[in-house]
Structure 1
Amino acid sequence: MTGKARPAPALEGVASAERLLTILSAFRKGDSALSLAELSARTGLVKTTIMRLAVSLEGFGYISRTPEGQYRLDAELLRLGMIYQQSFRLEAHVVPVLETLVERTGESASFYIRRGDNRLCLFRVDSPHRLRLHVRPGDRLPMDGSAIAQVLRLFTTSPLPPEAATLDFPLYTAGANDPHVAGMAMPAFGPEEAFAGAVCVTGPITRLTAEAAEAVRPVLREAAARLTRSLGGRMPESPALPAGRRSGE
C-alpha cells in the first residue's frame, strides 16, 4: 500500500536567535565599536535586551567590550569568515576571469551578488588607469538603476520578469547612479543554471562610452561564459531565459 507523502512542516525561526543575529548585522563597514545606544537605534531592540544578548555573544567570542564600554566584533567571526572562504573558494574561479577582463578592456572588473536591498561586491580587480571608480570587495551599494543592479534584480526574481526576454545582455548603463560612471553587467550561472552573480565592467563615462561598450560586449559575454563553465554551470542559449533555479532558491 502506498502511503501519502507528508507535507514538510512549516518552520519558523527562533526569536532569540534572530535578535542575536540582528545585533551582529548592525555593524557596518568602518565601525570600530558601537555604543549601547547606537546598537539600540540600529536594531530597534531595547538596551536591556541587547545587554543580555551581548553576554551570550561575548561568551562565544562574537563580540567583545572595549574599556569604554562599547561593543566591537571579535575574533570568532574572523575564524568563521576564513572557514567560509576556504570551503567555498569562489575567489579561485572568479578572480582569474576578472583579471582577464581588465587586461582585455583596460577597465575595472567586479563580481557582485545581491544581499537584500543592496548589491555586494565580492571580488574586484582595478583598472590600471589612475582615473577609476573606487570600490572595494565587501562594499555594499544600493540596488539602483545601474546595469549591475538590473542584472541582480532580474535574476534573483522568481519567476523571471517577462521583460527580461527583450533585453540584450550584457546590459549597459551610463550615469545611472553617478553621472561620471558607466558600467556593463552580465549574469553568470552555477550548476543547474542557478544564478551565481553578476560579472561587471565599470569605468569613467568618458572612456566607457556607448561606442566603447560595443567592443567590450563580446569580451564580457565570453568572460561570463568562462566563469559559468568554471563553476560547473552552463550558460543558457538566451541568458535572459535560464531554465533552472535562481540564486537563493
Structure 2
Amino acid sequence: MGSSRPSVTERVLSILGAFSPGRTVMSLAEISRQTGLPAATAHRLLGELTRWGALERDDDGLYRVGLRLWEVGALAPRGLGLREAAMPFLEDLYEATHENVQLAVLDGLEVLYVERIAGRDAVHVFTQIGLRFPAHATGVGLALLAHAHPDVQERAITGPLRRFTPKTLGSGGQLRRALAEIRRTGVAISDGQVELHALSVAAPVFGPADIAVAAVSIVVPADGFDWRVLVPAVRASARGISRALGAPRALRSPDSAIHRSD
C-alpha cells in the first residue's frame, strides 16, 4: 500500500521549512524545487500564506518570511521572553570583552542560536541568529546537553557524532565523560571543535523549574587568549539570566571549577 499524500498542513509547513539562514529569499520555482510540490500547488499556497502575512512577495516575485510569522514566533517562551531577559546580561558581557557573545537553545540534538552580539574586531565565527548546529560540537550545545533529559543525552551519546575538526568530540565515550564533567563544573570550553581558530566558553541558563532552557557563550581566538579569565564572567552572565527567569538554583553559590572539552 502506497504512502498517503501529504496533508495541506504538511505542505504549508514544508514551504515555511524551506526558508533557512542560507535561503531567506526564494522564487516560486526554488520553493517548488525545495519542497517537491508542483508549481501550481506551491503558487496557490504561497498566495494564501502571503495574504495572511506569513510570507511577503516583492516586486520581483521573490518570497521571504513575513512580519506576521515573526510576530507569532516571538510568542514562543524560549524566544522573545528569553531574549528580553538575557539581553542586558549579554550586553554587559560584550561590553566587558568586546568578543562574540551568543545565546542558544536546545532543539532535539541541535542548538538554535536565538541571539548574538558580534564584536567588530573579534574572531570570525560561523554563527548567526536562526542557525542550527549539532549540539555536541559547540560550547552552548555541550552546556545544554549536560543538563538535558537523560534520554536526550543517550541519543546524543549513541551518535553518530559528526566531526568538523580533529578536536570535535567523535565518540560516545568522549561525549559522556565531557557531559559528566560539565555537570560537575557548570561550564564547558569548546576548543577548536567547530573551527580550529575559535574557542568558546559556555554556561547553562536555567528557568523557573530549574531546567536548563538556554546557554550563553563567548567566542575568542583559540590561540593567544587566556580563556580562563572569561569563565567567571560567562558564569555570572548565565547566572544573572537564570535569576531574571526565576530559577531557584540561581541563588546558590556557583562552583569555581572549570572544564576544557578538547
TM-score range, shorter chain: 0.7 to 0.9
- Once the 2 structures are TM-superposed, how far is the Cα of residue 71 of structure 1 from its aligned partner? 3.2
Superposition map of 1:32-181 within 5 A: 33-80=25-72, 88-116=80-108, 118-127=110-119, 130-134=121-125, 138-143=129-134, 145-159=137-151, 161=153, 163=176, 164-167=179-182, 168-181=185-198
Kindly report structure 1 stretches of 4+ aligned residues shifted beyond 6 Å: 82-85, 236-239
Distance 2:61 2:238 in 1: 48
- Once the 2 structures are TM-superposed, how far is the Cα of residue 228 of structure 1 from its aligned partner? 0.8
In structure 1, the partner of 2:20 is: 28
- Letter of the aligned partner of 1:191 in structure 2? P
Paired residue total: 221
In structure 1, the partner of 2:10 is: 18
Distance 2:67 2:24 in 1: 13
Contact 2:139 2:189 in 1 (8 A): yes
Contact 2:145 2:152 in 1 (8 A): no
- Once the 2 structures are TM-superposed, how far is the Cα of residue 93 of structure 1 from its aligned partner? 1.8
Contact 2:146 2:180 in 1 (8 A): no
- Once the 2 structures are TM-superposed, how far is the Cα of residue 221 of structure 1 from its aligned partner? 1.9
Distance 2:67 2:116 in 1: 25
SS of aligned partner of 1:111: strand
Contact 2:146 2:153 in 1 (8 A): yes
Give the direction of change, closer, same or farther, for the CA distance of 1:57–1:133 in structure 2 (3 Å limit).
same
Give the direction of change, closer, same or farther, for the CA distance of 1:152–1:15 in structure 2 (3 Å limit).
farther
Distance 2:195 2:229 in 1: 22
- Once the 2 structures are TM-superposed, how far is the Cα of residue 137 of structure 1 from its aligned partner? 5.2
Distance 2:118 2:194 in 1: 19
SS of aligned partner of 1:192: coil
Considering only CA atoms, is the larger Rg found in Structure 1 or Structure 2?
A: 1
173-182 or 137-146: bigger deviation: 137-146
In structure 2, the partner of 1:244 is: none
Distance 2:243 2:191 in 1: 29
- Once the 2 structures are TM-superposed, how far is the Cα of residue 57 of structure 1 from its aligned partner? 1.3
Identify unmatched segments of 5+ residues in structure 1. 1-13, 240-249
Report the TM-score when normalising by structure 1: 0.72
- Once the 2 structures are TM-superposed, how far is the Cα of residue 230 of structure 1 from its aligned partner? 0.9
Identity %: 26
Give the direction of change, closer, same or farther, for the CA distance of 1:195–1:82 in structure 2 (3 Å limit).
closer
- Once the 2 structures are TM-superposed, how far is the Cα of residue 118 of structure 1 from its aligned partner? 4.2
Report the TM-score when normalising by structure 2: 0.69
Give the direction of change, closer, same or farther, for the CA distance of 1:68–1:114 in structure 2 (3 Å limit).
same
- Once the 2 structures are TM-superposed, how far is the Cα of residue 42 of structure 1 from its aligned partner? 1.9
Contact 1:95 1:124 in 2 (8 A): no
SS of aligned partner of 1:202: strand
Asked whether 1:197 is paired with 2:214, we answer yes
Contact 1:63 1:74 in 2 (8 A): yes
Contact 1:118 1:140 in 2 (8 A): no
Give the direction of change, closer, same or farther, for the CA distance of 1:139–1:204 in structure 2 (3 Å limit).
farther
Alignment RMSD (CA, Å): 3.3
Distance 1:75 1:139 in 2: 15
- Letter of the aligned partner of 1:188 in structure 2? V
- Once the 2 structures are TM-superposed, how far is the Cα of residue 73 of structure 1 from its aligned partner? 3.2
